[in-house]
Structure 1
Amino acid sequence: MLNLKTTPHQPQRFPIFLLFLLLCSFLTYPEAAKHSASPEAKALLGFQSKADVRNRLGFSQNTTSHFCDWKGVTCYQQNVVRLIIEDLHLGGVFPPNTLSLLHQIRVLSLQNNSLTGPIPDLSALVNLKSLYLDHNFFTGSFPPSILSFHRIRTVDLSYNNLTGSIPTSLASLDRLYYLRLDWNRFNGTIPPLNQSSLKTFNISGNNLTGAIPVTQALLRFGFSSFSWNPGLCGEIIHKECHPRPHFFGPVAAVAPPPKVILGQSAQVHGVELGQPSSKKHKRTAVIIGFSTGVFVLVGSLLCFVMAVRKQKDGKQSTAVNESDDAAATAQAAAAIQMEQENELEEKVKRVQGMHVAKSGNLAFCAGEAQLYTLDQLMRASAELLGRGNMGSTYKAVLDNRLIVTVKRLDSGKLAATTKEAYEQHMESVGALRHPNLVPLRAYFQAGEERLLIYDYQPNGSLFSLIHGSKSTRAKPLHWTSCLKIAEDVAQGLAYIHQAWRLVHGNLKSSNVLLGPDFEACLTDYCLAALAASSTLTDQDPDSIACKPPETRGSGSTHQATSKSDVYAFGVLLLELLTGKSPSKHPVLAPDEMVHWLRSSREDDGVDKERLGMLLEVAVACLSCSEQRPTMWQVLKMLQEIKEAVVMEDGELDPHSGMP
């Protein structure tokens, strides 16, 4: 039966919260539309449309958020002043007329994003100070638009596929602080860079030729800044530019390096590219006159020798017995003297630890110039620098005044490996090239003898800097020095881990050396793979304190991993902050670490907040293995600390650390 009962009509009520949301959308839509319609937002979206093929950025015009809140974007007064998009492997191209519309941008970093194609014209970015485009796949020639950045301080185009010559007008960028063009395909010569502001420089891994200009700026950089360019020569890399001519024919000489007066600015228009013709004629006349004089002198000497020989032949019959006796006596005396000298030399070599078997030759790493032989190395004067877990280290001064560091590995502390396995490992280690690694130049193996040859670092080790010498007591380093050194070490470790899937295995302050500009450089890296298991267990207390707990137990394999490198970095950071040796670090809770840090420094004026940020990084590195960050993440933490300080303290380039 149907229910025909009716109910009075009730009006439908519109939910109040839906009305509120609708009203908010109407109010915020014009603001969102205004943000997405701004020229700078369009520039960012245009870049994303071509560069971000994997949709990693997340930029969108259909959002209520301001473009200044997008990933990697930093604004000042509604203008983009910094765009840092790194390690996202975007995979697209760098489209023109996109980021070049960000007229107020000062820092542009697109490192490690697998971008391809040419670099677009960026000449409209008149305020740009720092440009980082390394670890991509850009092709084409050197972008001329970079030279319009009159205020530029930093250029990093390394690890691309750029061709052509390096423009000489780079020398006119008088504020240039950081220049890296390594691992491209540049050819031609090096411009005469002489900016006193230049602190970081690397052009290795190209096809550059000719003599390196001898300028005050370029003299500050070592061989590693120019390596893997077989055609380069000159005083800076100790390679002769005028090889001696062959006996049966002339050899084309390499042009001499352009001389620049030390202390003088090398402007483009100030470098003479040629000499007047009158000077050339004068030079030719001098050469002809000199050659004539040489021929006359040689003829005179020949005549004199013939006259002496005739006179000697006349007297030879009467003095043959006397000369034979004298010759025999002189020969015997010379033999005795030579034997005594050899014995003395062998004793010195034994004392110095450099007496090794000479069967075999030095193996130079790929791309390295063969500047010396094994015999020259053995004749070098050696000075013991120290003894470590793997062997002894010496400073060797060769006949050509080249100074190298020689590490003699202790055969009793090495694991049993074949000659081929040793050579393969050393080739991998020798291929590592980074500003924060001491480069391995050559190695030697004969029987049980194994030598490693590195660049000599004149400023000592980080251990000496932190702890001082026996006669002096070092003070705790300023927090900015701690940050700089920590970032340098993190850069080197991240490179080893990320690019080559290797590990250091023995990170400690004595294995961090200070380069010519007091940059921190890692040494003895990747040698732990050659060590015997007994070497890893029998170590001094400081070395043991640098090892993570998971590698100390009796049931562990003691194998070095990237995680153990991170732990050792945390110990090193504590050593930097407190000045205390690793074996003297107490086991404390994180909140107690702050009090220990302050009491260790004994400095009332210390910046406690910033030291606390560095301490947090150290604590993260010292956590259990599963919770430890990667070295790349640690590097990012340190860079974020530096950028935060930059935002607080004013105009400071966050990538260079210079005002």
Structure 2
Amino acid sequence: MNIFLLYFLIFLQLQNPTSTSALSSDGLSLLALKSAVDTSPEASAAFSNWNEDDPNPCTWSGVSCMNLTGFTDPRVVGVAVSGKNLRGYIPSELGTLIFLRRLNLHGNNFYGSIPVQLFNASSLHSIFLYNNNLSGSLPPSICHLPRLQNLDLSKNSLSGSLSSDLEKCKQLQRLNLAGNKFSSEIPSGIWSTLDNLVQLDLSSNQLSGSIPNDLGELKSLSGTLNLSFNHLSGEIPKSLGNLPVTVSFDLRNNNLTGEIPQTGAFANQGPTAFLNNPSLCGFPIQKSCQNSPQSSSTGGGSTGAGRETKNGGSKKGLKPGLIILISVADAVGVAFIGIVIVYIYWKKKGNESCSCTGKTKLGGNGVKRCSFCFCTNGFPGNESENESEKGGGNGGGNLVAIDKGFSFELDELLRASAYVLGKSGLGIVYKVVLGNGIPVAVRRLGEGGEQRYKEFTAEIQAIGRVKHPNVVKLRAYYWAPDEKLLISDFISNGNLASALRGRTGQPTSSLSWSARLRIAKGTAHGLAYLHECSPRKFVHGDVKPSNILLDNDFQPYISDFGLNRLISITGNDPSSSGGFIGAALPYIKSVQPERTNNYKAPEARITGSKPTQKWDVYSFGVVLLELLTGKSPEFSPPTTSTSTEMPDLARWVRTGFEEEKPLSDMVDPMLFQEVHAKKEVLAVFHLALACTEIDPEVRPRMKNVFENLDRVGT
């Protein structure tokens, strides 16, 4: 029927040249798409300027054209009619667009099968049909497209088995078939041929059988290997450990069995990667393999002293002398290990400064580098902990130094010059210059919480143990029933928000790419330390540019971590003006309250939700996008859509990549002044998009984010 429609339009063109003779053949093919969509207000808006009287379709909304050698008229290379809530089918006439490179129809309600004629458009390299209602099978001929790089058919109703013809998609980089009804087994023996595949998502289907061994040969894979919410069974192949160390696994909600391998990439996986597989055991999930049915059936009879022999007798136990010798050797070994541990602890305790440079041991070239987990700068001594137990509950005030090398008197703090630096829901922050000329930052938390002194000091001690080159150091604190203060290092060059947007909030482009990359690496380094190595495995919960402080060399320092818990303990409004320090200050300037936090992860905006490390990953991804684009997250780009909902920064950038817009349309123009920046900028963009995935389980760990960033520009 569609073919007849196209022929009919061509017939009209020949019979009535004054009316439709101007429209090119590409335009006639596109009119088939307009005709295939049901009449609705959304359709009228989407195709409002698709007029058959135009000479070509290049001015139509959602259509991209290019002048090609050998052709007088421009040819259609891109069609993007997405997120319009259109209902209809995909016409086969689109396959006649022989120069079409990008087809983007996602976020509509297209139904029916994917026409095989579509793959006659041999120039196609990106097909985005996700979030529709397409049914039928995955056409094997899809891999007849020689340039196919991006295929996203997720969130449809496609069914059947996955064809082994996928091995013919030699150029494929991203394959997303999640949220369909595919069944049968994942084909094996095909993945080693897909040398360019960087994303594979087969989650939320009905796939069964075992995980193919050759998935471990996807050497270009990055981000998350997502096989969750299927019916996969059997053991997890050890070959998956051969994947790059930056790859995260998501194998949740399957029927996998046996012990989780401990080699290669498995060492970087958290317990959430293996949840809801009742028969899995071993690290990192909290289930021992010793009590599993598999281990008892294979090894349960091999440890008893009375195990039967082939002749029906029993083996003799170990001789008493040998048992004594083994016991003595074990005791000596344990004692030696204890001595080594004590030596290492005291050696760390005596370190005065951290020599970590921000590199990890994964740097390559055989060079051993400092891991951020060892960059602790020592631990607070017992004197600080004992001192914190002395006061607070006696009705008076108590000034406690967390850092033994930092000391001053309370009256010195009161006499010092003080200036308001900022005000937020986490309290007022002052710059205070002590008598020796050293400036510090003093945060006033509030007046309440006198009944929770021990809880408060426990939190303070945990925060005080965090010592890292990219995290603001807590130097001391003051406790009194009517006042709680935190004293930390003063960082001299403001924060990232001011560096990006200026003191007045207006955009500025003063930061070079090298400075932005340094800030991104240092911030990722500090967050990875908080997540992986800090005493409490801290979640920051409020990562944003105003909490990333900068020194004169644009080295970043993360501030305000752990404060939400302290505020809940004090229980009062920290922005009130009471308290002794408020009265002692000679000058207080008015500070406008902060704007709505647009850096929060989608799940963080649900009332009552509990902070997670993946919140921080998302927020950091938005910070990366702001560093790259120079635009704040509440940025609303111009759009031809009639929808009242404007896309946020992350969605705008993601759409730009799907539609393959020029990088210059999205990047802060300042960055292209550095010749080498384009390749590095592109790498950071991909990392930022991975961090801002909607599904928190798909986002990488902060450790992996840092490791990837650390390779950029080296």
TM-score of the aligned structures, taking structure 2 as reference length: 0.40
Structure of greater relative contact order (alpha carbons < 8 Å, 6+ residues apart): 2
TM-score of the aligned structures, taking structure 1 as reference length: 0.42
